[in-house]
Structure 1
């Protein structure tokens, strides 16, 4: 089981990074679009 842990953590970190990045993009778009 434990030999899969590094790959699992890497995949979790990647998906978490993508989630945070998409949230930031959505926030920026929400700030930009109403003003334009």
Structure 2
């Protein structure tokens, strides 16, 4: 899965915007499997 596909999946509703699209792109370019926290 390429970076664009990952960003599209993460951006689908229902999401809360925490980072910008540019930050999300950079995150996936530098870290293929970033960690997340829900809570």
TM range (shorter): 0.3 to 0.5
Larger radius of gyration: 1
Larger helix fraction of residues: 1
TM-score between the two structures when normalised by the length of structure 2: 0.32
